[in-house]
RNA sequence: GGCGUGGUACCCAAGUGGCUUAAGGGGAAAGUCUGCAAAACUUUUAUUCGACAGUUCGAAUCUGUCCCACGCCUCCA
């Protein structure tokens, strides 16, 4: 039985879908006015693990992720500059070009990290009519009011407002860190529709029954999930920062309009802990996947790093820790490659008691709220087991990798696959000769010069092998 | 001011009342192998879980106090 920690109840619950083996899942995707940083990637990775564990448990998953391509504001108190427009202005491009550009980079990054794409990417700007309709629904039911800069949701009319975050509204300090609109009736009220500024031509704006403008940030997820998954679905996930505002507001909007429960299971991924340096996208200072790749880490090294911690715990990011993950991943790859040397004669092999035992341990760990660190330790224990044969280990490793997503099936050996340059070949022959003559001094010198040229020598039982250093 | 999280070996990090006198990875050390290295393999590496009290037959896990670090109450994964 799969158990998941539900933010709504703050407890681990048995996962029971609304419709048998069919699961409906929505996750809050990227805002595409800038690159995704490695913290954002941690959240998409967590959602990928959730998706993979559901698949491993034989569920059919319909998975929707939104792309926030419409400009939302610098502050959620609904004042300030529009991030999309700001970014466009800086780069001298249209907001539409900006959105497309960063969307493509996002898709490239998650593909490099072996993160499965959702069944549907839903762009906020493709669902403007649905958002307007939802606001009309809320208006008809008396949840909205208009002030000078837009249409707002009156949170005092929604009795359970704040239940997800267990918000103590009286304890909130309005305007403690930012100016807020004096016209709002309650500090938690939020914009559903914002009017375009009088004196400014926005690149993204639409007509609505209330005037020309653009949707508030929260409404897109309520409108798109309703359109693509229905009023009531199984799982909604995102980063932990979305609990108090974004998801709280989504629940209010959706349940107020639909008159029924919105989502059964809310899951949230913790932040990557960067130490003193906080990485928020709006600050512009952050590390991307490309940064890591430029420093010689592969996306799989980063994925292995993320696998070492549970999604609900902060994970300290340091290059020292990433180096450990890099070594760990490389060691694992080496082992897998070794197991594959003599490929199994049979496509399938009978599952032994011993294998069954490891499969059960693995399933038990992943189904306990996606405990990847423990699942990884099952993998390592399995690889070191004395009673399993090579084929059985290889078979199990690939099976586990359906969840880990480390690409173990498609690993390529870096030994002898590169074309070795001629000058290196000559040196290798020379060294062979020297070794034959027991002239170890020369042999060592030659080895050193080969190393300087970026290749390493491995003397194995089967002869000398050459490996390109990275 | 309010709310919340966490402190486990050199590093990352599981474990949340007895199966654990604490997983796994990295690192380090020793050994096997080797002309020597590298690789590979084997072994070792916290009687201890921020500190101090307490509850219990039994605690890293529960309670209390204290110390430290961090997050949220703008946007943010």
Domain range summary for chain A, segments of one domain joined by +? 3-283, 289-410, 422-468
Nearest nucleotide, CA A270 to C1'? B77
Relative orientation angle of helices A372-384 and A319-339, to the nearest 10 degrees: 40
Q: What per-residue confidence (pLDDT) applies to A249?
A: 92
What's the rounded Cα separation, in Å, for the pair A442 and A447?
8
Judged by average pLDDT, the poorest of A139-143, A150-154, A283-287, A296-300 is A283-287
- With b meaning 16 or more CB within 10 Å and e meaning fewer, what string describes A265-294? bbbbbbbbebeeeebebeeeebbbbeebee
Domains A3-283 and A289-410 share a fold: no
What's the rounded Cα separation, in Å, for the pair A64 and A121?
6
- The complex scores an ipTM of 0.93
pLDDT over 60 at A360, yes or no = yes
Chain B bases closer than 7 A to any CB of the protein: 1-6, 11-15, 23-27, 34-42, 70-77
What's the rounded Cα separation, in Å, for the pair A162 and A151?
20
pLDDT over 50 at A77, yes or no = no
Q: What per-residue confidence (pLDDT) applies to A39?
A: 92
Task: Name the band, by pLDDT with cuts 50, 70 and 90, for residue A168.
Answer: low
CA angle A362, A366, A368 (to 5 degrees): 115
CATH of domain A289-410: 1.20.120
β-strand pairing of A213-215 with A120-123? unpaired
pLDDT over 60 at A179, yes or no = no
Strands (E), A293-440: 315-316
CA A441 / C1′ B33 distance in Å: 21
> Looking at the C1' of nucleotide B40, which residue has the nearest alpha carbon?
A460
Greatest mean pLDDT among A89-103, A121-135, A153-167, A173-187: A121-135
CA A384 / C1′ B43 distance in Å: 14
Kindly give, in sequence order, each residue whose CB lies less than 8 Å from that of residue A144, ignoring residues fewer than 6 positions away: A135, A138, A151, A152, A153, A154, A192
Kindly give, in sequence order, each residue whose CB lies less than 8 Å from that of residue A365, ignoring residues fewer than 6 positions away: A371, A374, A375, A378
| Higher-confidence position of A173 and A440 | A440
pLDDT over 80 at A419, yes or no = no
Q: How many CB atoms lie within 10 A of CB A448?
A: 11
**A402 close to A55: Cβ distance less than 8 angstroms:** yes
CA A191 / C1′ B44 distance in Å: 62
User: Tokens 């930012």 label which residue?
Assistant: A178
Closest to A67 in 3D by CA, of A34, A28, A104: A28
What's the rounded Cα separation, in Å, for the pair A342 and A86?
57
Nearest nucleotide, CA A369 to C1'? B14
How many angstroms from the chain centroid is the CA of residue A265? 18
Per-residue pLDDT, averaged over A397-404, amounts to 96
Exposed/middle/buried for residue A177 (C-beta within 10 Å: 0-12, 13-18, 19+): exposed
Nearest nucleotide, CA A329 to C1'? B25
User: CATH fold of A3-283, please?
Assistant: Rossmann fold (3.40.50)
CA A427 / C1′ B32 distance in Å: 30
**A365 close to A375: Cβ distance less than 8 angstroms:** yes
Exposed/middle/buried for residue A118 (C-beta within 10 Å: 0-12, 13-18, 19+): buried
CA A374 / C1′ B22 distance in Å: 14
Per-residue pLDDT, averaged over A46-73, amounts to 91
């Amino acid at each position: 039985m799969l158990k998941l920690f539900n933010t709504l109840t703050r407890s681990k619950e048995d996962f029971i879908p609304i419709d048998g083996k069919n699961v409906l899942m929505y996750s809050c995707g990227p805002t595409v006015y800038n690159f995704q940083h490695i913290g954002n990637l941690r959240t998409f990775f967590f959602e990928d693990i959730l998706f993979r564990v559901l698949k491993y448990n034989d569920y059919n998953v319909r998975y929707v992720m939104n792309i926030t391509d419409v400009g939302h504001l610098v502050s959620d108190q609904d004042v300030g500059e529009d991030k999309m427009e700001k970014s466009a202005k800086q780069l001298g491009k249209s907001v539409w070009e900006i959105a497309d550009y960063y969307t493509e980079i996002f898709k490239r990054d998650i593909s490099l990290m072996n993160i499965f794409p959702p069944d549907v990417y839903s762009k906020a700007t493709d669902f403007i009519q649905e958002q307007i309709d939802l606001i009309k629904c809320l208006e008809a039911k008396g949840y909205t009011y208009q002030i000078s800069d837009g249409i707002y949701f009156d949170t005092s009319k929604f009795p359970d407002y704040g239940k997800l975050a267990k918000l103590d509204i009286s304890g909130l300090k309005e305007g403690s860190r930012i100016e807020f609109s004096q016209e709002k009736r309650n500090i938690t009220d939020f914009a559903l529709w914002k009017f375009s500024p009088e004196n400014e031509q926005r690149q993204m704006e639409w007509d609505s029954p209330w005037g020309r403008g653009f949707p508030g940030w929260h409404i897109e997820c309520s409108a798109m999930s309703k359109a693509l998954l229905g009023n009531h679905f199984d799982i909604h996930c995102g980063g932990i920062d979305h609990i108090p505002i974004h998801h709280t507001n989504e629940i209010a909007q959706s349940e107020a309009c639909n008159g029924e429960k919105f989502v059964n299971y809310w899951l949230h991924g913790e932040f990557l802990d960067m130490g003193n340096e906080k990485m928020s996208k709006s600050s512009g200072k952050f590390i991307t996947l490309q940064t890591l790749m430029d420093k010689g880490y592969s996306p799989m090294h980063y994925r292995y790093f993320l696998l070492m911690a549970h999604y609900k715990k902060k994970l300290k990011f340091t290059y020292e820790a990433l180096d450990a993950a890099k070594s760990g991943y490389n060691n694992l790859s080496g082992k897998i490659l070794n197991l594959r040397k003599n490929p199994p004669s049979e496509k399938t092999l009978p599952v032994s008691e011993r294998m069954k035992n490891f499969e059960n341990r693995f399933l038990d760990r992943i189904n306990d709220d996606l405990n990847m660190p423990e699942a990884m330790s099952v993998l390592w224990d399995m690889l070191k087991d004395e009673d399993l044969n090579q084929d059985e280990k290889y078979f199990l490793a690939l099976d586990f990798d359906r969840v880990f997503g480390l690409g173990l099936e498609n690993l390529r050996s870096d030994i002898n696959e590169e074309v070795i340059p001629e000058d290196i070949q000559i040196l290798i022959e020379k060294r062979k000769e020297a070794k034959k003559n027991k002239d170890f001094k020369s042999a060592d010198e030659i080895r050193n010069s080969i190393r300087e040229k970026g290749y390493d020598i491995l003397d194995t039982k089967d002869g000398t092998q050459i490996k390109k250093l990275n």
